[in-house]
Amino acid sequence: MYKSRIAGVGHHVPEQVVTNHDLSTMMDTSDEWIRTRSGIQERRWSPQDTGTSDLAYEASVNAIENAGIKASNIELVIVGTISSDYFFPGVSAQIQDRLGLNTVGAFDIKAACSAFIYSLSVADQFIKTGMVKTALVIGAEAQSKLIDKSTEGRDVSVLFGDGAGAAILTRSDDGNGILSTHLHCEGRELKHLWMEAPGTSPNAWINNLELDSDKFKPIMNGKEVFKNAVTRFPEVIEEAMAANKLSMDDIQLIIPHQANYRISQAVAKRMGVEMDKVYSNIHKYGNTTAASIPIALSEALAENKISKGDHIILAAFGAGFTWASAAIKW
Ligand code: COA
C-alpha cells in the first residue's frame, strides 16, 4: 500500500464582500443577531456570470501552482459541491475540460459540508492502492445563487457564502501524509437540512411546482443541526486520534468545517481544547459548505500555522446528516 500526501493547496473567493449590514438592507436581520449567533461578519457572493466551476477552476490553478506540478500530472478529479453549475453533469467535468486533462476520470460528491473530506478520502484510496499517483480534490460552492435573500429565508441565508478550495494529492515518498479518514452518515435525519427541488421525486419535479416554490430553497432546522454537530464533531475527531494512537497534545491544529463559530467553541469546550488550536476564518467567509475546509487549510498554511511533521485533523459535519474526519501528518 502506498500513502498519499497533500502536495499543495489553493483557494479562491469572489471579490464582492457582503457585510451583515448589507444583508440588513435586504431582509429583517441585524449585524448583532448574526455576529452573536454565528461569529460571521461578512461573506463573499459571486457575480451573476460566475458559477461554482469558475471558483473551483481558480482554486485549482492555485493548488497546482503551490504543489509545483503540471496540470497534465493529474490523473483524477473529484469535486465536492451541492451547488453545481448544471443539474448534470458535475462541476468535475467542467474542471477536467478547462485544465485540459484529456480523458482522466472526474466526478462530483454531493455530501454537503462533509464533501471535501469525503472527496479526500476517495482520492486517498485511489493513491493508496496505486490506481493513480496524483489527484485534484476540490470543495466549491456558489451558495449565493441558492439562498432565499428575503426575510423568510433569513435563518439560512445569513450563514452561507461562496468560495472554493483545492488540494493536490500525490503519492508520499517520506511516510508523511494522510494517516486516516473516517466517513459517517445518518440519512434518517436528512430533512433537518435539505433542499427538496429540483429532483426526480414526484413532489420535487419542476412540472409539478411553481418556480418560486419553497421547495427550491434550502431548509434548516438550526437547533437540530447545532445539537448534532456538537456531538458528532468531537466523536469523529476522537475517532481519528484513536485510530492513530494520538492524544490531543500530539495535535497542532484542528481545522473544522466552518459551520458556525459557536459550534467550534462548543466542540473545543467539550474536548477541553483551547480555541487557538481550532482554526477559524468564518468571520470573513461565513459557511461555504464543501469549500470551507480547503479554504481554511489554504489560509492556515499561508499564515504558517502548519509546519512539516505537524499532526492536523480536518473534521466536518453537515447535511445528510454526514460527518467525517481526516488525520494528517504534514
Ligand atoms: N436575523 C434576525 N432574526 C432571525 C434570523 C436572522 N437572520 N434568523 C432567525 N431569526 C429569528 C427567528 O425568527 C426566531 O425568532 P422568534 O423567536 O421570534 O421565533 C429567533 O431569531 C430564533 O433565535 P434563537 O432561538 O436565538 O436562534 P438560535 O439560537 O437557534 O440560533 C442558529 C439560530 C441558526 C444561528 C442556530 O440554530 C445555529 O447555529 N444552528 C446551526 C446552523 C449551522 O451551523 N448550519 C450549518 C451546518 S453545516
Domain check: are 86 and 205 in the same one? no
φ/ψ of residue 13, rounded to 5: -125, 150
Known catalytic residue: 287? yes
Supply the pLDDT for residue 207: 79
- pLDDT exceeds cutoff 90 at 202: no
Find out whether the beta carbon of 264 lies less than 6 Å from any atom of ligand 1.
no
The predicted structure's pLDDT at residue 263: 97
Question: How far apart (Å, rounded) are the C-alpha atoms in residues 296 and 307?
Answer: 15
Q: Residue 211 pLDDT more than 80?
A: no
Q: Which residues touch 285 (CB under 8 Å, ≥6 apart)? A: 13, 42, 43, 44, 161, 163, 258, 292, 295
| Residues in CB range of 299: below 8 A, 6 or more apart | 11, 279, 281
pLDDT band at 205 (very low <50, low <70, confident <90, very high): confident
In one letter, which amino acid is 266? A
Whether residues 43 and 116 share a domain: the answer is yes
Q: Specify the residue with its C-alpha closest to ligand 1, atom 20.
A: 155
Position 155 confidence tier, pLDDT thresholds 50, 70, 90? very high
Give the chain's mean pLDDT. 97
Q: Are residues 300 and 267 in the same domain?
A: yes
From 174, 196, 224, the end of a domain falls on 174
Q: Which of 174, 202, 222 is the last residue of a domain?
A: 174
Verdict on whether the full-model pTM lies above 0.95: yes
State the pLDDT at residue 208: 74
Instruction: Give, for ligand 1, the residue of 147, 148, 155 to mutate: max count of ligand atoms closer than 8 Å to Cβ.
Output: 155
Q: pLDDT per residue over 141-152, tens digit each?
A: 999 999 999 999
Domain of 119, in residue numbers? 4-174
Alpha carbons within 13 A on the beta-carbon side of 264: 26
Do both 161 and 187 map to the same domain? no
Cis peptide before 89 (omega within 30 of 0): yes
> Cell numbers 476520470 label which residue?
105
Q: Is pLDDT of 212 > 80?
A: no
Is 185 designated active site?
Answer: no
To test ligand 1's pocket by mutation, which of 148, 150, 220, 260 has the most ligand atoms within 8 angstroms of CB?
260
pLDDT digit string (tens) for 264-277? 999 999 999 999 99
Final residue of a structural domain among 174, 201, 217: 174
Number of helices (H), then strands (E), in the chain: 10, 13
Q: Is 4 left (phi over 0), alpha (psi -120 to 50) or beta?
A: beta
203 and 307 together in one domain = yes
Ligand 1: atom nearest CA of 317 is 48
Q: Does any ligand 1 atom lie closer than 6 A to the CB of residue 155?
A: yes
Give percent of the chain above pLDDT 90: 94
- What percent of the chain has pLDDT above 70? 100
d(CA 287, CA 40) in angstroms, rounded, equals 9
Residue type, 245: K
d(CA 2, CA 172): 7
Joined together, the cell numbers standing for residue 282 give 468564518
Which of 82, 151, 226 has the most ligand 1 atoms within 8 A of CB, as the residue to mutate?
226
Question: Which among 3, 299, 15 is positioned nearest to 165, based on CA atoms?
Answer: 299
CB of 33 within 6 A of ligand 1: the answer is yes
Catalytic residue among 113, 182, 228, 260: 113
Co-location of 55 and 17 in the same domain: yes
Instruction: Tell me which amino acid residue 135 is.
Output: A
The CATH number for 183's domain is 3.40.47.10
Residue 268 alpha carbon to ligand 1 centre in Å: 21
Domain count, the chain: 2
pLDDT tens-place string over residues 61-104: 999 999 999 999 999 999 999 999 999 999 999 999 999 999 99
User: Does residue 210 carry a pLDDT above 80?
Assistant: no
268-276 long-range contacts, CB within 8 A, separation 24+ = 270/230, 270/234, 271/234, 271/237, 271/238, 272/248, 273/248
Same domain, 109 and 211: no
Q: Determine which residue's CA is closest to atom 2 belonging to ligand 1.
A: 29
H or E, element range at 269: helix 261-271
- 222 C-alpha to ligand 1 centroid (Å): 6
Shared domain check, 155 and 188:
no
Closest ligand 1 atom to 37 CA:
35
The single-letter DSSP state of residue 47 is: -
Q: Are residues 116 and 132 in the same domain?
A: yes
State the pLDDT at residue 213.
Answer: 83
Say yes or no: 168 and 88 in one domain. Answer: yes
By residue count, the chain amounts to 330
In this structure, are strands 162-171 and 193-194 parallel, antiparallel, or unpaired? Answer: unpaired
HSE at residue 324, side-chain half, CA atoms within 13 A, is 25
Within a 13 Å sphere around the CA of 150, how many CA atoms are in the beta-carbon half? Answer: 4
Average pLDDT over residues 171-183: 96
194 lines ligand 1 (CB under 6 A): no
Q: What pLDDT score was predicted for residue 209?
A: 73
Average of pLDDT values for 14-28? Answer: 98
pLDDT higher than threshold 90 for residue 214: no
The residue-averaged pLDDT of 102-116 equals 98
Residue with cell 486533462: 101
Residue 203 has what pLDDT? Answer: 84
Q: How far is the CA of 199 from the centre of ligand 1 (A)?
A: 27
Average pLDDT value for residue range 33-48: 97
154 and 267 fall within a common domain: no
Q: What is the DSSP letter of 90?
A: -
Together in a domain, 32 and 167: yes
- Rounded to a whole number, what is the distance in angstroms from the first to the last CA of the chain? 19
Q: What is the pLDDT of residues 247-270, one digit of tens each?
A: 999 999 999 999 999 999 999 999
170: confidence class by pLDDT, cuts 50, 70, 90: very high
**CA–centroid distance, residue 150 to ligand 1 (Å):** 15
**Minimum-distance ligand 1 atom for the alpha carbon of 319:** 48
Answer for the pair 249, 273: CB distance below 8 angstroms, yes or no: no
